[in-house]
Amino acid sequence: MNQTVDSGAASGIKPSVAEISRAVQESSAWVGLLKHEIGKNIIGQEKLIERLLIGLLTGGHILLEGLPGLAKTLAVKTLAAAVSTDFRRIQFTPDMLPADIIGTEIYNPRDSSFVVKQGPIFASLILADEINRAPSKVQSALLEAMQEKQVTIGESTFPLPELFLVLATQNPIEQEGTYPLPEAQVDRFMLKVQVGYPTREQERRILDLIEHTDAQAAMPPILAPEDILAARKVVDSIYVDDRIKDYIVDLVCATREPSGLNAGMREYIETGASPRATINLKAAARALAYLSGRGYVIPDDIKSCALDVLRHRIRISYEAEAEGISSEDIIRRLLETVPVP
């Protein structure tokens, strides 16, 4: 499972697309087994599971938004159980303090000194549950950890695990008791995934699955941290053609200057996507190619993840709000307008 693309690395020759594809197929043998085991606990929500795997393969943090009871927390906990590493769930509440997440310094009266007590953020996989129920100062405590993979407590800075990944859930901001996430923090999430209701058929299967109160199946460990880190190296080697790169840049730039495409969206966009969107579109598309067993990215990979990468990075104007136009509507229009290679 620790297959990497290194056949030409020693000689300085880049591997061919065929070689990359073979490495992807060998490295991704665990994907089918993982999806099968997750399916024992979660009916439907295939897109949700796929997005969580993208985060795992790229190290990009994921924000899940949806009403309570849609298996957001269960999906993250099930995925964490499949990885043999440390996992922490942080339940965000209105009375939390930043020290409840990152830790604090505690005075030791024996030797008149302060010692650092690390908080739950010091784990490989973090479930930040209902992250928007805590005040902004608590949410902001995650900023340094998510971007720099380190935490500063007092005058000391501590590195976080190499596999560090934040999988956060939030309720729709219209619900009572929620606080909007700071824009600087929202931008640090690679994907914002909207979690919807299951279909009628899926709901019927859920009813059959839950025959008794302890119906949740035990999730066997499938992956070790080194397997994920090896998979990330393969993902990073997946071929992205220059025309695909130009397409990514065209899409992101169109969120800033849509008038050049005659998309009729200029008055609806307050600010466009940041350069993180460009980087994350490429990384997410590579992960999708990996999950599909391909060693190269195609335009459909970009289109598939564009909504989740861009929806939280576009600030809509008052005109858009007045006319009921969302950032998703704008992105769909741009996907129809920007020329596909």
Residues 222 and 152 in one domain: yes
Residues 75 and 187 in one domain: yes
Residue 202 lies in a domain: yes
The domain boundary residue, chosen from 217, 234, 251: 234
CATH of the domain at 268: 1.10.8.80
Indicate the pLDDT class of residue 215, thresholds 50, 70 and 90.
low
Residue 4 lies in a domain: no
Instruction: Identify the domain containing residue 111 by its residue range.
Output: 31-234
Residues 306 and 198 in one domain: no
Q: Is 125 helix (H, G, I), strand (E, B) or coil?
A: strand
Question: CA-CA distance, 14 to 16, in Å (whole number)?
Answer: 6
User: What is the reported pLDDT for 11?
Assistant: 43
Residues 152 and 222 in one domain: yes
Residues 254 and 113 in one domain: no
Residues 261 and 218 in one domain: no
Burial (Cβ within 10 Å: 0-12, 13-18, ≥19) of residue 243: exposed
Residues 178 and 75 in one domain: yes
Residues 221 and 242 in one domain: no
Question: CA-CA distance, 128 to 215, in Å (whole number)?
Answer: 25
Closest CA to 288 of 278, 298, 275, 279: 298
Question: CA-CA distance, 265 to 331, in Å (whole number)?
Answer: 10
Backbone angles phi, psi at 31, to 5 degrees: -60, -50
In the chain, the number of structural domains is 2
The domain boundary residue, chosen from 208, 234, 260: 234
Q: Give the pair of three-digit tokens for residue 62.
A: 């994921």
Contacts 24+ apart (CB under 8 A), 196-200: 196/66, 196/70, 197/70, 198/43, 198/44, 198/45, 198/70, 199/44
State pTM to two decimals: 0.85
Residues 246 and 187 in one domain: no
The full DSSP string for 198-235 is: PPHHHHHHHHHH-SSTT-PPP----B-HHHHHHHHHHH
Residues 278 and 168 in one domain: no
Residue 6 lies in a domain: no
Residues 111 and 242 in one domain: no
Please check the confidence at residue 6 and state whether its pLDDT lies above 70: no
Residues 67 and 103 in one domain: yes
- CB contact set of 232 (below 8 Å; sequence gap of 6+): 57, 58, 59
* Higher-pLDDT residue of 8, 134: 134
Digit-coded pLDDT (tens) for 40-70: 777 777 888 889 899 999 989 999 888 877 7
The domain boundary residue, chosen from 215, 234, 253: 234
Indicate the pLDDT class of residue 210, thresholds 50, 70 and 90.
confident
Backbone angles phi, psi at 70, to 5 degrees: -105, 20
Please report, to the nearest 10 degrees, the dihedral formed by the alpha carbons of residues 152, 225, 228, 130 taken in order.
-50
